[in-house]
Structure 1
Amino acid sequence: MTPDAPGTPPDGPIDDTRTGDATTGNTRTGDAAGGTTDDPVAGSPAWWAARAARAARAGGSHDLGSASATTRRGRGRPALDTDLIVATALRLVDAHGTHAFSLRMLAEALGSGTATLYRHFAAKDEILALVVDRVLGEADPAAARSSSSSSQPSTDTGTPSWQEALRGTGLGLYAVLRAHPHVVGPLMAQVPVGPNGLAQRERVLHALVAGGLEAGLAARAFTAVAHYAIGFVAQQHGPAAAPGNGPELAAFYRRLDPAGHPTLIAAAEALTSVPPEEEFRFGLDLLVRGLEGVAGAAPASTAP
């Protein structure tokens, strides 16, 4: 449920340099974790593949999100549980944002030291990649779909229609990103291909195809809805979102010259009074209805 084209975070790029402290970056220059400038960028497909390969060499779990895929051998304090690290990091990112978040802040919250964290991660961007994947794992399209009053009925076989599946995808992603708006920046920085990102992408595409869409159209529908949800949250709920000033803006519109802006004045209330969630649902319905026209012009796929 995420885009397949990375972009620049709405509040600027994540600091990706490291100068000897414990606060930034995914470019490594012989640091305590043993990384080099040739290491893959955190969150990239190559980075996730390297984690899996490291886990396999260590004889541990092949789960890309597991602790064994990240822990680096070394002396000092005992290794920390990776799930605890990521859960704590998410709590700090929610409270302080990605730019203020640092390994030093995380170590203090865990009652540990930065050197211990470097046994797991080379830099904070590696933690943020896992935070993004954890948030994607919280999205629940089924629950979001059941709360939607505009869902299409299920098919005769009981399988959710592709319209239901697509609405559930959009509503689920919107809900989880609205709860964690600071994660939108790192989510946009890389195509999320961690275990939860891959599992959700597979689950959504399978549901769309099983519901009647051809695979190519299912992929484009998924991408369009994901881009819409992420962009909407970035603009309406993200760190750079404008404050809610609907009444002030409506009053400004009404004071405009009627000769030059008669329609804008007439629409002033509608432009400034619709709650963001209602606006999101309206836009999502427009996407789904537009895709119905496209799907009707193409032969339906055979559900597996």
Structure 2
Amino acid sequence: MSPARRTESLSREVVVTAAIELLDEHGERGFTFKLLTERLRTGAGAIYWHVANKEELVRLCADRILGDALAAAGPEQDLRSLALAVYDALDRHSWAARHVIVLPSLPSALHLLDRIGTLLTGTPLPAERRFLVATAIFNYVVSVTAQDVVRVATVDTSAGRDALLAEYAKSWESLDAQTFPFLTGAAADLREHDDRDQFVAGLDLLLDGLRHQSGGGQPVQG
């Protein structure tokens, strides 16, 4: 017996919310309109009334994820808190990262870049450096998660992240120690590291560099 049809009205917001749930469960590759119609208990035509195709829907979902992160961070957050809010959102919804990484076209990505640039105007950083610094921070924040997603997507991930890192660490340990002294010594760190700690380390380097470029005047909040 087919599931009962939904009786409440269908809106774009409802469609996007259901799609995000399915994207989190199945990833972008596993997400289909068939799954979506089953989740919403409606026909494909009702969904196509609100979105043109899967590509548009996934972009809307990614925009929602990023927009919610910006809203949660609040307009008064400092650069470090803003960056961490975005990282955590993209880490929870990793499928969204690649849709944000390209030169900003999603409305929320534009808001993120604008928020970063606006926060920089409150520092002693020279005006002519703001574009370069703002885009560097933006690219770092959205690229780290996207890079992890691409790396994981290229291998068999059935065993999970820990098994993948263990495999990489084993390959580092097998390298010649004289040729690769750092990598062979860091194999254990690779196996055991926390991705968020790694992100924070890079972020702090960026913000420390920003403080230096600002001449050590008004501090960048960290």
TM-score normalised over the length of structure 2: 0.75
1:229 and 2:141 aligned: yes
Please, which of 62, 66, 88 is the counterpart of residue 175 of structure 1? 88
Question: For 1:87 and 1:119, how far apart are their aligned partners in 2?
Answer: 16
Q: Once the two structures are superposed, what CA deviation does each residue of 1:189-219 show, in whole Å capped at 9, x if it has no partner?
A: 563342x334443333222212443444333
Instruction: List 4+ stretches of structure 1 deviating above 6 A.
Output: none
Write the letter of the residue equivalent to 1:240. Answer: A
CA contact 2:73–2:81 (8 Å) conserved in 1: yes
Q: Which has the higher helix share?
A: 2
Structure-2 change in CA distance of 1:229 and 1:235 (3 Å): same
Give the gaps of 5 or more residues in structure 2: 1-6, 156-160
CA contact 1:141–1:168 (8 Å) conserved in 2: no
Show the counterpart of 2:56.
126
CA offset at residue 247 of structure 1?
4.6
Question: For 1:264 and 1:81, how far apart are their aligned partners in 2?
Answer: 52
Question: For 1:142 and 1:113, how far apart are their aligned partners in 2?
Answer: 34
CA contact 1:235–1:241 (8 Å) conserved in 2: no
Structure-2 change in CA distance of 1:249 and 1:215 (3 Å): same
CA offset at residue 113 of structure 1?
0.8
Show the counterpart of 2:36.
106
Question: For 2:46 and 2:204, how far apart are their aligned partners in 1?
Answer: 48
CA contact 2:59–2:106 (8 Å) conserved in 1: no
Q: Aligned ranges for residues 52-131 of structure 1 at < 5 Å?
A: 80-131=10-61
1:284 and 2:203 aligned: yes
Question: For 1:240 and 1:203, how far apart are their aligned partners in 2?
Answer: 31
Question: For 2:149 and 2:54, how far apart are their aligned partners in 1?
Answer: 24
Which of 1 and 2 has higher RCO (CA within 8 Å, sep 6+)? 1
Question: For 1:78 and 1:254, how far apart are their aligned partners in 2?
Answer: 59
Please, which of 118, 124, 132 is the counterpart of residue 206 of structure 1? 118
Write the letter of the residue equivalent to 2:50. Answer: H
CA contact 2:173–2:184 (8 Å) conserved in 1: yes
Question: For 1:135 and 1:232, how far apart are their aligned partners in 2?
Answer: 16
Structure-2 change in CA distance of 1:197 and 1:88 (3 Å): same
Q: Which has the larger radius of gyration?
A: 1
**Percent identity between the aligned chains?**
29
DSSP-derived class of the 2:51 partner: coil
Q: Once the two structures are superposed, what CA deviation does each residue of 1:147-185 show, in whole Å capped at 9, x if it has no partner?
A: xxxxxxxxxxxxx7xxx7222232121111001001123
CA contact 1:165–1:208 (8 Å) conserved in 2: no
Q: Once the two structures are superposed, what CA deviation does each residue of 1:14-37 show, in whole Å capped at 9, x if it has no partner?
A: xxxxxxxxxxxxxxxxxxxxxxxx
DSSP-derived class of the 1:296 partner: coil
Higher mean C-alpha displacement, 96-105 vs 84-93: 96-105
Question: For 1:85 and 1:182, how far apart are their aligned partners in 2?
Answer: 17
Question: For 1:112 and 1:81, how far apart are their aligned partners in 2?
Answer: 12
Show the counterpart of 2:158.
none
Please, which of 257, 265, 268 is the counterpart of residue 184 of structure 2? 265
Structure-2 change in CA distance of 1:169 and 1:223 (3 Å): farther
Would you say how many aligned residue pairs link Structure 1 and Structure 2?
A: 205
Structure-2 change in CA distance of 1:128 and 1:240 (3 Å): same
Write the letter of the residue equivalent to 1:236. Answer: D
Show the counterpart of 1:59.
none
TM-score normalised over the length of structure 1: 0.57
